[in-house]
Structure 1
């Protein structure tokens, strides 16, 4: 019996989540570098401490844009982030072709939507808001458990999927 080539197989959920853990390390490094550059550029005024801690209004959106750009640029330049490379998985369009800029942008925006639940922190507390974000992401990835092509919600919305390579 001939087994299909790995490139034709959808990526299992455990592999994509493991790659995401690897990417978390890259994201933390990116956030730290952007934070350092912002602190240097503002003379240490990005975060003001005192009676109440205040963060510059532009800082968190900038961090979000830079992290989003990491994912979009990675998917456009070869279909892989740093975390996807050791696990030999790649983002492709539903037809197996390269991901377009529009699909990559849609994918990152939809994947990031559960982060809006952090807005619940003032009324629920930070811990509950973080759990809400994790629950949101669990719902986002749940379709990959039953979808024949193992697509998460952001893949379905963007018309993409993850495939094994080589």
Structure 2
């Protein structure tokens, strides 16, 4: 997959429906990652720290470390895909791509901003994503603050060999 998308005239801003579809798909993937991290966290607490089963999940330190691991893993998931090719697995299914205004993949700084603002947008009942319905360019808060855009890619032409 090309890291730099040059067909800027062939794309259009993504609407809310496609974005929500990709978010749902990616949400299941992140949830699977969180299940694995939680299992590893319990394993570490039980086997390496030697805490009894009834002490698992007790105490501020255990709760804090698990939450930070979950937050960090979610960020790494999105940042890896966004910075590498602009598409998470859910975005690929919906033919979406996050990119800079010039078609280049976003930077790590932009990914951090997108993730932080996206999390905030989600926490305020999705208002930052619903903004797509009111913005003339179909931008979410994450798009506006990070200087990026989410676009719909054209369907691949069958038989083109690429």
Scaled to the shorter chain, the TM-score interval is 0.7 to 0.9
The reply to whether residue 81 of structure 1 matches residue 88 of structure 2 is yes
Which residue of structure 1 aligns with residue 74 of structure 2?
A: 67
The reply to whether residue 154 of structure 1 matches residue 142 of structure 2 is yes
Which residue of structure 1 aligns with residue 21 of structure 2?
A: 18
In structure 1, C-alpha distance between the alignment counterparts of 2:147 and 2:21, rounded to whole Å: 22
SS of equivalent residue, structure 2 residue 90: coil
In structure 2, C-alpha distance between the alignment counterparts of 1:80 and 1:47, rounded to whole Å: 42
Structure 1 stretches of 4+ moved >6 Å: 44-48
In structure 1, C-alpha distance between the alignment counterparts of 2:52 and 2:17, rounded to whole Å: 37
Residue 118 of structure 2, aligned match among 105, 111, 116: 111
Instruction: Give the TM-score taking structure 1 as reference length.
Output: 0.75
Which residue of structure 1 aligns with residue 36 of structure 2?
A: 33
1:25, CA displacement in angstroms? 0.5
In structure 2, C-alpha distance between the alignment counterparts of 1:21 and 1:68, rounded to whole Å: 16
Equivalenced residues, count = 143
Give the aligned CA root-mean-square deviation in angstroms: 2.6
1:97, CA displacement in angstroms? 2.1
In structure 2, C-alpha distance between the alignment counterparts of 1:47 and 1:95, rounded to whole Å: 55
Instruction: Give the TM-score taking structure 2 as reference length.
Output: 0.77
Q: Unaligned stretches of 5+ in structure 1? A: 116-132
Which residue of structure 1 aligns with residue 3 of structure 2?
A: none
